[in-house]
Amino acid sequence: MSTRRRNQGFTLIELLIVVAIIGIVAAIAVPALVRARIASLESAAIGSLRTINAAESTYASSCGGGGYAQSLDNLSRPAAGSAQLFISPDVAANGVSKSGYIMNASADVSATTVTLAAHTCNNSAQDAVSSYFAEAHPVSIGVSGQRSFATDARGSLYFTGDGRVLAPGMTGATVLR
State the pLDDT confidence band at 5, using cuts at 50, 70 and 90. low
Give the integer Cα–Cα distance in Å for 47 and 42. Answer: 9
Q: Smallest Cα–Cα separation from 46: which of 6, 103, 92, 1? A: 103
Which residues, including other chains, have CB under 8 Å from residue 66's CB and lie 6 or more apart?
60, 114, 115, 128
The mean pLDDT value of the chain amounts to: 92
Give pLDDT, residue 165. Answer: 92
Model confidence at 1: pLDDT above 80? no
pLDDT tens for 99-117 read: 999 999 999 999 999 999 9
149: nearest Cα among 60, 75, 51: 51
CA neighbor of 51 nearest in space, from 107, 78, 97, 89: 89
